[in-house]
Structure 1
Amino acid sequence: MQAVVLEQFQEPLEVQDVERPTVEPHGVVAKVEGCGVCRSDWHCWQGDWDWFGYRPDPPHILGHEPCGTVVEVGDDVENVSEGDSIAIPFNFACGTCSLCRNGRENICENHVGLGFMNEAPGAFAEEVHIPNADINAVPLPDDISADTAAGIGCRFMTSYHGMAHRGDVGNGEDVVVHGCGGIGLSAVHIADALGANVIAVDLMDDKLDKASDLGAVETVNARDVADPAKEVRDITDGGADVSVDALGIQTTCQNAVNSLRKGGRHVQIGLTTAEERGMVPLPTDVFVAKEIDFYGSLGLQPSRYPEMLNMIRTGKIDPTALVEKTIDIHQVPDELAAMSDYDTLGIPVCNEFSN
């Protein structure tokens, strides 16, 4: 089968012929119908995130935002059948640890990151293996198409968890999203659907225009103002109720925190770059004086996919609104290379793997 293979960090990626995955007793193999191309794939290609445990040994297949159709089922799998259409979370869980048993399988004690770790070759490929399929292969309703499902990978489902669960936004609250890449735009769209008034902050007008299309009531171009956080506080008459750092650099994280009103909640979704290496200085005294809560947010529990899928089915949220273009597997390396200059908008999806 064809797959995008990382042979050496920061060197051009290659589409190669590789062996198809072998099904394990607890797993399934799925034909990949679509896989989003995400900045997290770019970070992996650059060799970032060793401090996070997301640095595989080359050669390694990238890709972590797939949906697919089950083509082979392991002997120990009980709830997944050949022919099933499935969503595939990147945060593979074991299903048996205490966190999994208590509904927090997205931070499973035995977490394996699809496309980011040796144990889980990724999904820029014709087929992908899903371990512990009874928990990690999420059935898709018949009325959700593969095109729709291809847009709900990491960025969309992560933003859903961040907004609906960790940030618990809604009820007319003011929510500010700093950084309008795929995660940020997803957060704008989902927070709007949950009833929030969303302010989007970015450096690029086309991304801010897209944020407005997705429900932002105000936008701030951080290039045009001396203090983006103060601009948000002025717009919201004192500060946002919830802030989101959807990028993961020092500037956006600090600006997001400084955008909050007293008693506000900060949701950190963006992971840091090689420059920060996981460490960002924060205004600790502000957290104390304003009683600000800080929430990390990783992925989405497979057990909570149904509520997101129900919102998609009823038209309240629409991942296809984030998909800017579809590409084939041979275009994936160039699409990732363009992210070096932040030269992408929304979510590109690879949906052709065999040409």
Structure 2
Amino acid sequence: MPTMQAVLLTAYGSPLAAWDHPLPPVPPHGALVQVRACGLCGTDLHLAAGELAPLFPLPEFPWVLGHEVAGVVAELGPDARPPADVAEGSPVAVYGPGGCGDCARCTTGHQQLCPGAGGWLGVGRAGGFAEYVAVSDARHLLPLKGLPAEQAAPLTDAGLTAYHAVRRALPALASRGPRGAVVVIGLGGVGSFAVQLARLLAPAMVVSCVRRPAELADHARRLGADALAGLADGPGCLRDLAPGGEVDAVIDTVGTAESMKLAAAVLRPSGRCLVVGAKGGTVSLGVGSPDVPFETELSTSVWGGLTELHDLLQLAHAGRLDLGHVRRYPLADAARAAADLKAGRIRGRAVLCP
């Protein structure tokens, strides 16, 4: 049986390590992609630790994580129908959520919510911490058009998740124009893209809210933030920064109890809060809740649609995004990459490069 190098998780809580692993077969309607870069993000650490097992139980062990993939099409399946500009040998980004293509969610552009997708890449289907990854449907391959793989890979999740959340925040900002304000909590992989995309897509003031504002001030302003605040500063400080003293939308890329309570409390009545971070936070929602203003729209926001990834790659191709600092690691150093990420030693994105 042909084999490849892959980073395997042998049990929840076990260290990531590279081993020989069977080469996946080519899906009939999909492709085998030679991985050139796969992003390592906080979600991977939570999955590996078993912290997300109640929501996303891994199918088996050993398991191959990794959902931010860019590479080269090694082989197309016999029944594959790729996009017109994708063929064997094409550099591509991989759309990780998949999607059946036929259900109501897929046909309305919400493939990440498809109930019949067979699982997300790296979660329900073997992922990209390997030399090769199987892609179930060739429709999920997007041409890179000269974009380096290590910069494109984080766009497929960190960038796409931010883009989807910012687009969902826009209705709350539409009526106020330049007097509107959006707060982005967190400035990690998703938060860095959210600040940039809010600056590009919304006519509003963009406020970056982080735990260590003194350390991140230059970074936030370079990405397009108009103002910076600390998580500990409280809702009054954030409202004071906003035009007219009102915040219309919040994108919380952290998702702790602290960040979610701040996100809800700072909003004007009928504002919109999108929670992206998955760190177990909750708030009390109900009429008369001390946490949430009247008629606030409080929603989770998960990954993004296939068309949205196309749009995001177009922004990257046009040079409109700061793709940030990427730290490359070989597969053999996956455990070191995970330790660096957990310890906060990575500014930008860690990328495993076979």
1:349 and 1:174 mapped to 2: Cα distance?
33
Q: Is 1:129 the equivalent of 2:120?
A: no
Superposition CA RMSD, Å: 2.1
Aligned residue number for residue 145 of structure 1 = 148
2:299 and 2:96 mapped to 1: Cα distance?
20
1:203 and 1:103 mapped to 2: Cα distance?
34
Superposed, 1:159-238 pairs within 5 Å as: 159-165=162-168, 167-168=170-171, 171-172=177-178, 173-195=180-202, 196-204=204-212, 205-223=214-232, 225=233, 228-236=234-242, 237-238=244-245
TM-score, length-scaled by structure 2: 0.88
Contact 2:209 2:231 in 1 (8 A): yes
- Give the percent of matched residue pairs that are identical in Structure 1 and Structure 2: 28
**Higher mean displacement: 166-175 or 27-36:** 166-175
Contact 1:70 1:81 in 2 (8 A): yes
1:42 and 1:207 mapped to 2: Cα distance?
23
Aligned residue number for residue 265 of structure 1 = 272
Unaligned runs of 5+ in 2: none
Q: Is 1:10 the equivalent of 2:49?
A: no
Q: CA deviation at 1:9?
A: 1.4
Aligned residue number for residue 110 of structure 1 = 116
Deviations 1:109-165 (A, max 9, x none): 223111112xx111011111111222x22233x243324312312111110111124
1:325 and 1:339 mapped to 2: Cα distance?
10
Q: CA deviation at 1:194?
A: 1.6
Aligned residue number for residue 321 of structure 2 = 317
Superposed, 1:320-335 pairs within 5 Å as: 320-321=323-324, 323-335=325-337
Contact 1:167 1:266 in 2 (8 A): no
Tell me: CA distance 1:313–1:78, structure 2 relative to 1, closer, same or farther (3 Å).
same
Contact 2:169 2:273 in 1 (8 A): no
Q: Is 1:71 the equivalent of 2:79?
A: no
Tell me: CA distance 1:26–1:95, structure 2 relative to 1, closer, same or farther (3 Å).
same
Aligned residue number for residue 307 of structure 2 = 303
Contact 1:166 1:296 in 2 (8 A): no
1:289 and 1:164 mapped to 2: Cα distance?
22
Q: CA deviation at 1:326?
A: 2.1
Unaligned runs of 5+ in 1: none
Q: Is 1:38 the equivalent of 2:41?
A: yes
Tell me: CA distance 1:149–1:289, structure 2 relative to 1, closer, same or farther (3 Å).
closer
1:339 and 1:96 mapped to 2: Cα distance?
38
